[in-house]
């Protein structure tokens, strides 16, 4: 059994921001919430996503980011970062991408949650920090965080922490999935290994299946905003 301390629960409704002479809607600007919140199938009470094509939904109900990466980004961006700096719902300490597997199940207050996929960084991080290379750097480092789907709804709070109650037998870490997705795109054995995990999100599964079929999926569009 493994445990992660929750340093902050962060929520926020979508806001309009300027990008390339147009307005885009984003839920990346989240703030800490100290009260207990209801976690539904889709998100935390008071939270929302601006781009429902690429964010949110049942398989990406909760975004988690390890606080252990904050010092790296503070040095990279040359600024002090507050909790929720990456648009994550949970800023945690004690479990990183190398420790967490696709399909792992955690107790979170009254709720049960399950790891569904790594977080796919997008261009809105670049807008927030005026750092064009930030999403690509996040991919290269593997400091992506990950998403949770909700298996049982319930009331949650920062004090609850995340307690792993089931580790997936295939042991495909978030870090390994990131490596195959972004760095070892022609590793057919690795792709097949990941596809054995039925708990992998529909979107990531579709991308890997297309690669097996010889259709390269270009993730750069989400990094740059050229959608």
| CATH number of the structural domain spanning residue 93 | 2.40.33.20
The count of other CB atoms within 10 Å of the CB of residue 146 is 28
Q: Do 4 and 115 contact (CB within 8 A), yes or no?
A: no
Q: What is the pLDDT along the chain (227 residues), one digit of tens a residue?
A: 699 999 999 999 887 777 667 777 788 889 999 999 999 999 999 997 655 555 568 999 999 999 999 999 999 999 999 999 999 999 999 999 999 999 999 999 999 999 999 999 888 899 899 999 999 999 999 999 999 999 999 999 999 999 999 999 999 999 999 999 999 999 999 999 999 999 999 999 999 999 999 876 655 545 544 43
Residue 221: per-residue pLDDT = 47
Residue 143: per-residue pLDDT = 98
Residue 123: per-residue pLDDT = 85
What does pTM read for this prediction? 0.91
Task: Tell me the residue range of the domain where 49 lies.
Answer: 3-224
Residue 131: per-residue pLDDT = 92
**How many domains would you assign to the chain?**
1
Give 205's DSSP letter: H
Instruction: Please name the residues in contact with 113: beta carbons below 8 A apart, sequence gap of 6 or more.
Output: 39, 61, 62, 105, 106, 148, 149, 150, 151, 162
Question: Distances from the Cα of 25 to the Cαs of 14, 101, 136, 158, 174, in angstroms?
Answer: 6, 31, 21, 27, 28
């Amino acid at each position: 059994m493994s445990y992660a301390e929750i340093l902050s629960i962060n929520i926020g409704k979508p806001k309009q921001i300027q990008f390339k002479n147009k307005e885009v809607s984003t839920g990346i600007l989240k703030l800490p919430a100290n009260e207990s919140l209801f976690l539904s199938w889709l998100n935390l009470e008071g939270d929302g996503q601006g781009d429902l094509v690429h964010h949110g939904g049942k398989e990406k109900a909760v975004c988690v980011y390890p606080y252990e990466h904050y010092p790296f980004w503070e040095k990279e961006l040359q600024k002090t970062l507050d909790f929720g700096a990456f648009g994550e719902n949970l800023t945690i300490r004690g479990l990183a991408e190398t420790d967490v597997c696709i399909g792992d199940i955690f107790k979170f207050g009254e709720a049960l949650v399950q790891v569904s996929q790594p977080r796919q960084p997008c261009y809105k991080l670049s807008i927030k920090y005026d750092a064009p290379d930030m999403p690509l750097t996040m991919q290269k480092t593997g400091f992506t965080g990950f998403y949770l789907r909700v298996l049982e709804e319930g009331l949650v709070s920062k004090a609850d922490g995340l307690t792993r109650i089931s580790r997936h037998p295939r042991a495909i870490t978030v870090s390994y999935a990131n490596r195959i997705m972004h760095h070892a795109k022609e590793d057919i054995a690795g792709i097949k290994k990941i596809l054995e995990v039925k708990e992998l999100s529909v979107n990531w599964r579709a991308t890997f299946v297309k690669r097996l079929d010889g259709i390269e999926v270009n993730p750069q569009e989400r990094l740059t905003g050229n959608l």
